[in-house]
Amino acid sequence: MDAHAITLAHSHEFAITSLLELGHPHIAGITITSPDQWEQHRAEVILLDHHLLQHHSLASWSELPCTLVLPESLCGGEVAEQNHKQTIVLPRGADPQLTLKAIGFAAEHTRLRQQNASLNRQLKNKGEGLERLVEVGIALSGESDLEQLLEKILAEGQRLLDCDAASLFLIDHSEEPASLLFKLTRNASIDVPFKEHRMPMDKSSIAGYSAITGETLKIDDAYTLDDDLPYQFNRSFDLAMGYRTVNMAVLPMIDQQQKIVGVLEFINRKREADSKLTIPALTESMVYPFDQEALSLLQALASQAAVAIENRRLLNDVHNLFDGFVQASVFAIEQRDPTTSGHSFRVADLCESVAASFDASGEFKHIRFREEQIRELRFAALLHDFGKVGVREHVLTKAKKLSTAGCEMLRYRVALAKSKLHNQSLEQLLNLAISKHGLTPELRSQIERERDTECGQLDEYLEAILTANEPTMLAEGTFEHLERIKAHLVQDCHGNLRGLISEEEFQALSIPKGSLSTAERKEIESHVNHTIDFLRLIPWTDSLKHVPLIAGAHHEKLDGKGYPNQLPAEQIPFQSRIMTVCDIYDALTASDRPYKPAMPRERALSILEFEAKDGMLDSQVVRVFIEAQCFLAVEGKRYGFTPPAPASEYQHHVCDYDLHLDHKH
C-alpha cells in the first residue's frame, strides 16, 4: 500500500481509531456529511455508510472526483448503474484489515485517475496550444502593415496563454550604440497611457538583458528577484498605475539569421482568462507561473514574430527601394526638362485624388481602388514621361520654328543681299560717273531710292520671317506672305540665285501651332514608346505589373485617335483614363511654362468637359475630377527639384495638351 498520506472522508459515526491501530499512521480522517463539503478538503477516499447515504444518493457521491468505499450491504444493485471504476465494494463481513487495504487501493486509484486526467489535460492543452500557434502564424503572415503586425503579435500572445499584459520592444540600429524602442504595450485590466519611446539597451533592464544575451527569462515574482542578478524589475509603473506585476516571461525575437530583432514581455498569466487584476493584493492568488510548456509556446511565437517582422521590414525595404528608384527616375526626368519641373508629381497627386474620390463617391460605388492599385497608378503617373530621355535634345530645346543657327543664317542672308544691293548701286553710280553721259543728280537719286526700297523690302521680309518664327499656342492666320518671301530671289555667297527662304525653311515657318514640324511632333510623341520600352525592362512585382500598360496609354483617347497605338476605348485601362484627364489638366494650367501662360482653372475644366462630350475623355472621370474638386490636391503646393530656367532656355514638355491636336475652344 502507498506510504503517502491518505485523506479519508467519513461520517461522524465512523471510528477511524480502529484502522490506525492496525499500523497505518498516514490516514487523515475528515468528517463529512454531504458531497458539497468535499471541495473544502478534497479527500481522496470517501468511506460511505448508511448515515452518508441516508440524505444523499450514491449517484450524488459518485459525481465527486475521488474513489468511494462502501459495504456491499448498502449498495444493492445501484453500484452497477454507477461508474464502477470509482467505487470499491467491501464484501459482507469484511474485517478492519481488509477495509484498510481497500482504502489504500482506493487512494491509489484516485491518484492514478488524477494523474491520468492531468496528462490528458496537458495533452489537450498542448494540442490546442499548437493549433492556436498555427492560427497565430497564419494571422501574422497575412498582416501587411508593420504597426498592425506588432499589435497582432502582442494580442495573439496574450490570447495564447491568457496573459493580462504584454509589451514589445524593437532593437534600433539606426544610431550607435543601438537602443531599445519601446514600441507597444497592452494591458487587459487597466488603461495604460502610452507613448512610444527609446531606452538604453543594457543589461540593467530585463528587456535589455534579454536583447543583449538572447536569453529567455522566466520570472515567477518580479518583486523577489535576487540582488546579485544583473537586471532588476522597475516598479515605478506598478506604483504609478496601482498594478502588481507578478510573473513574467521575457523572450528575445530571433529571426532565421539568428539576429535578435526585439523582445517580447508577457506578464501575469491568469487562472481565469476574463478576470481583471485591479486589486494588487489579490493578484498573486489570481495568476500562476509560466511553465516550460508555456515558455515553449511563447518561444515559438517569438520566432514567428521575428520572421514576420523581418519579412515586413524586407517588404518595406523593397517598397522603399522602388520608391527611391522612382524618385531618382523622376529626378532624372526633371533635370532633363527643368522648366517643367513638378509635372510628374502634380499628375501623380491628381491621380491619387481622383482614385480616392471614386472610393468616396456613392454614385460610382462600383468603382473601387485597392491600395496596391492606387500605388500602381501613382508609380505609372510619376514615370509616364520617363521616355522623354529618348527624345533628341535639339527637338526638346527647339524654342522657335527655326533653330537659332537657322535664324542667324537668315539674318546673314538678308544682310548679304542688302550688301549686294549697296554694291550694285555703287557700281552703277561709278559706271555712270565715268560714262560719257555723266552722273546727274536725278539719276543718283533714282538709283539710291531704288536701292533703299529694295533694302527696305528685305528688312520687311526679315521682320515677317522673325514674326512667323514665333510659335503660337493656337493655329492663327495664314502664311501667304511667306510664299512671296520664298519667291524673292537673292544671290548667295557663291553668286547663285535662290529664294530668300528655302522650301525647308518655308515649311518650318508655316507651322500653324507651336514650333515643331510634323516629324518633330512625331518624335515628341515617341516619348510614350520610350516610356513603355523602359518600364518593361523593370521586373515589377505582381501588384505593380500593370505600370507599363497604364503609363503607356496616357495619350490614348476613347475615340481611338490617341497615340501611340490608337487604342479603342475598351482597351484603355481605367487608371490610364484617370491619368489622361489629370495630365491634360496640368498641361493646361501649369504656371511653369516659359513659352505659354497658365490657363485659368475654369477654362481648363470647360475644355475637359468638352473633350468628354466629344468622346475623347472618360466622362465619369471628368465628372468626378470636377465635382470632387480633385484639382485642389495640387494647389498651394511647391513641386520640382530645381527652379524654372529662364524663358530663353525652355524645353518642350512632351505632354503639353496633345501636340498633334488643334484646340480652339
Strand arrangement, sheet containing 87-90: 27-31, 6-10, 45-47, 67-71, 87-90
| Residue 485 near residue 379, CB atoms below 8 Å | no
Name the residue among 122, 84, 128 with its Cα closest to residue 106: 84
Helix (H) or strand (E) holding 88: strand 87-90
Q: Any idea which of 80-84, 293-297, 306-310 has the lowest mean pLDDT? A: 80-84
Is residue 324, in this structure, part of any structural domain at all? no
* CA gap 279, 256 in Å, rounded: 41
Give the CA distances from residue 389 to residues 259, 329, 532, 533, in Å, rounded to whole numbers and listed in that order: 44, 10, 12, 12
How many angstroms from the chain centroid is the CA of residue 239?
A: 40
Give the per-residue pLDDT at 76.
Answer: 61
Residues 307-316 have a mean pLDDT of: 80
CATH number at residue 27: 3.40.50.2300
Give the per-residue pLDDT at 2.
Answer: 43
Is residue 325, in this structure, part of any structural domain at all? no
Residue 158 and residue 302 share a domain:
yes
Residue 386 and residue 456 share a domain:
no
Could you give the number of structural domains in the chain? 4
Residues 281-296 have a mean pLDDT of: 90
Q: Any idea which of 77-91, 141-155, 227-241, 245-259 has the lowest mean pLDDT? A: 77-91
Residue 253 and residue 373 share a domain:
no
Give the per-residue pLDDT at 434.
Answer: 87
Helix (H) or strand (E) holding 284: helix 280-286
Give the per-residue pLDDT at 569.
Answer: 94
Is residue 160, in this structure, part of any structural domain at all? yes
Residue 211 and residue 103 share a domain:
no
CATH number at residue 299: 3.30.450.40
Instruction: Kindly give, in sequence order, each residue whose CB lies less than 8 Å from that of residue 95, ignoring residues fewer than 6 positions away.
Output: none
Residue 570 and residue 493 share a domain:
no
Residue 509 and residue 608 share a domain:
no
Is residue 133, in this structure, part of any structural domain at all? no
Q: What is the pLDDT of residues 481-536, one digit of tens each?
A: 888 888 888 888 788 888 889 988 888 888 887 778 888 888 888 889 999 999 99
Is residue 643, in this structure, part of any structural domain at all? yes
Residue 206 and residue 310 share a domain:
yes
Cα(first)–Cα(last) distance of the chain, in Å? 109
Residue 82 and residue 43 share a domain:
yes
How many C-beta atoms surround the C-beta of residue 445 within 10 A?
10
Strand ranges for 156-209 from DSSP E: 163-172, 179-187, 197-200
Q: What is the pLDDT of residues 398-447, one digit of tens each?
A: 778 888 888 899 999 999 999 999 999 999 888 888 888 788 889 899 99
| Per-range mean pLDDT, top range of 35-39, 387-391, 552-556, 598-602 | 552-556
- Residue pointed to by grid coordinates 465635382: 627
Domain end call among 514, 544, 579: 514
Is residue 256, in this structure, part of any structural domain at all? yes
Share of the chain above pLDDT 70, in %: 83
Read off the pLDDT band of 559 (50, 70, 90): very high
Residue 162 and residue 111 share a domain:
no
Which residues on neighbouring strands pair with residue 163, listed in sequence order?
269
**In the predicted structure, residue 371 carries a pLDDT above the cut 60:** yes
**In the predicted structure, residue 122 carries a pLDDT above the cut 70:** no
Give the per-residue pLDDT at 620.
Answer: 92
25 three-class SS = coil
| Residue 341 near residue 644, CB atoms below 8 Å | yes
Give the per-residue pLDDT at 645.
Answer: 45
**In the predicted structure, residue 263 carries a pLDDT above the cut 90:** yes
Q: Which residue has better confidence, 131 or 176?
A: 176
Average pLDDT, the chain: 83
Residue 25 and residue 88 share a domain:
yes
Give the per-residue pLDDT at 81.
Answer: 46
| Residue 457 near residue 451, CB atoms below 8 Å | no
Domain end call among 81, 116, 151: 116
Residue 309 and residue 361 share a domain:
no
Helix (H) or strand (E) holding 8: strand 6-10
Domain end call among 477, 498, 514: 514
Give the per-residue pLDDT at 325.
Answer: 82
Share of the chain above pLDDT 90, in %: 35
Q: Any idea which of 3-7, 65-69, 286-290, 309-313 has the lowest mean pLDDT? A: 3-7
Q: Which domain holds residue 253?
A: 142-314
| Residue 331 near residue 389, CB atoms below 8 Å | no
φ, ψ at 228 (rounded to 5°): -85, 0
Which residues on neighbouring strands pair with residue 28, listed in sequence order?
7
CA dihedral 216, 220, 222, 227 (to 10 degrees): -80
CATH number at residue 594: 1.10.3210.10
**In the predicted structure, residue 5 carries a pLDDT above the cut 70:** no
Q: What is the pLDDT of residues 86-107, one digit of tens each?
A: 788 888 777 778 888 888 888 8
| Residue 251 near residue 299, CB atoms below 8 Å | yes
Which residues on neighbouring strands pair with residue 179, listed in sequence order?
172, 200
Residue 510 and residue 528 share a domain:
no
Is residue 399, in this structure, part of any structural domain at all? no
Is residue 321, in this structure, part of any structural domain at all? no
